[in-house]
Amino acid sequence: MVQQRPQVTPAAPWSFPVPREHRLGNGIRVLLYNLPGQHITSTRLLVPAPLAVEPREIEGVATMVARTMDEGTGSHTADEMAELFELSGIAYGAGYGARGLTLETEATASKSAQGWALMTECLQEPAFPEAEVLRHVRQRLAEIEHESASPDTRASLEWAATFYDDRSRAARAAAGTAETVARITPEDCAAFHSRWVRPEGATVVVAGELDEAQALRDLESTLGSWSVEGVAPQDDSPVAIVADEPTRVRFVHRPGAVQTELQLGFFGPDRRVEGGWAPYPAVGFAVGGSPNARLDAVLREEKGYTYGIRAGYRPRDVGGIFVVSGSVRGDVTVEATRLTVEILDAVRDGFTAEETQAATDYIGKTAPARYATADSVADEASLLESVDLGTDFVSSYLEQLATLTPHDLDAAWARWAGEPRAIVLVGDAEAHADGIRALGIGDVEVVE
């Protein structure tokens, strides 16, 4: 007996969880996302001090502070801190991004308060032991060597150096260069921490199955006790400054390379763009967000030049970029670059209804799965908080997404597509640089 296929009904409307907002006694803003059934509590603490406040001669010190705050405090050695986290099953991490410091913990509900207490200890009384700081300096110097040897990372670093003005912190590696990192001392870490790591303006995001009243009491007794003497410094650091130049190409020479890493990009919008953010993820998906997108349809499926090329908009707090990246066979470097540029230029001819529907369906209908866990909710909430947006932004752009037409995508692309491009290639310049010059896509500079 053959049964009739069941009807697939449209997905129910979905919106991002709504937090309950509070404030601790020391001014820290609290966002609680109560997610029944999520028994691992995810916590993100954001301390707003832009990367640009680092002294230029010791860039990387902010990252070093983030990496060593738990490597010994006034109360515990580095080994004791590691044991306290591990015996309680608490995962801890810290990092420094463009807009400031983020500390995070993952713990079962019964251990969350202990995680917050240990986080507070890292914030309040880091010791920055010389042996630990110097160990992390050596590790960072080794990372820099690896980044230079890795074609995709080298392409990203060279692209930033090409695209952004040298006055902009965005033009240089977020975790510092070999020259600046080698200068960092424990005293530098202590001074940066004392000046910039403060509770003023901080936000803590907690997501999971919560007893809200108990969570607030525990947060108040831990993070709420964090205090720093003196007045918080003012930050007047510049935002990312784009170099005022026409399209330019930088070719990093790797003799005998059998693959070429390609990165191409231009200036784009931030999430507050006039007309709404929704068209931009859809454009990115249609151009380079799936195996059926325009770039992969030609470069991978038709030509077999690559395992995959990806593209999309990357918003910053102010402005953003559109970036294409991926690797191609070395012997087709020139042809693959030509096709990439031609595919991007052809986008001006317009998106189809099928492309628009595929993009909006994928982004909109997979959203509930993307934000199904406490850590994904906490990550998205903290990311948006770092640029002064709430998670209602997600719900509003998903609502707009469902109404998009091909014309909306065309208009979004046309608004930024004429911006000058920066193109970086990492491969055998001796074999291919002349061919790239012959394409006439911009002045070509070869570097080692």
Q: What is the pLDDT of residue 167?
A: 87
Q: What is the pLDDT of residue 237?
A: 64
User: At 131, which CATH number?
Assistant: 3.30.830.10
Closest residue by Cα to residue 161 from 236, 99, 241, 238:
241
Asked whether residue 238 is domain-assigned, the answer is no
Asked whether residue 46 is domain-assigned, the answer is yes
Handedness of CA 243, 245, 248, 251 (dihedral sign): negative
Q: What is the pLDDT of residue 236?
A: 60
Q: What is the pLDDT of residue 9?
A: 81
Asked whether residue 388 is domain-assigned, the answer is yes
pLDDT in tens, 313-356: 999 988 999 999 999 999 999 999 999 999 999 999 999 999 99
Do residue 202 and residue 315 come from a single domain? no
Do residue 162 and residue 204 come from a single domain? yes
Lowest mean pLDDT among 203-207, 295-299, 306-310, 316-320: 316-320
Q: Which of 167, 193, 225 is the last residue of a domain?
A: 225
| pLDDT greater than 90 at residue 82 | yes
Do residue 221 and residue 252 come from a single domain? no
Asked whether residue 208 is domain-assigned, the answer is yes
Do residue 33 and residue 82 come from a single domain? yes
Per-residue DSSP letter, 180: H
pLDDT in tens, 86-111: 999 999 999 999 889 999 999 999 99
For range 360-365, the mean pLDDT: 95
- Which residues touch 198 (CB under 8 Å, ≥6 apart)? 47, 49, 228, 232
Asked whether residue 240 is domain-assigned, the answer is no
For the chain, percent of residues with pLDDT exceeding 90: 91
Q: What is the pLDDT of residue 6?
A: 85
State the chain's mean pLDDT as an integer: 95
| pLDDT greater than 80 at residue 78 | yes
Do residue 327 and residue 391 come from a single domain? yes
* Domain tally, the chain: 2
Do residue 51 and residue 182 come from a single domain? yes
Helix-, strand-, coil-residue percentages of the chain, each rounded to 5: 45, 20, 35
Give the CA distances from residue 238 to residues 82, 242, 266, in Å, rounded to whole numbers and listed in that order: 37, 11, 20
pLDDT in tens, 235-292: 666 667 888 888 899 999 999 999 999 999 999 999 999 999 999 999 999 999 999 9
Band the pLDDT of 367: cuts 50, 70, 90: very high
Show the domain range for 397.
248-447
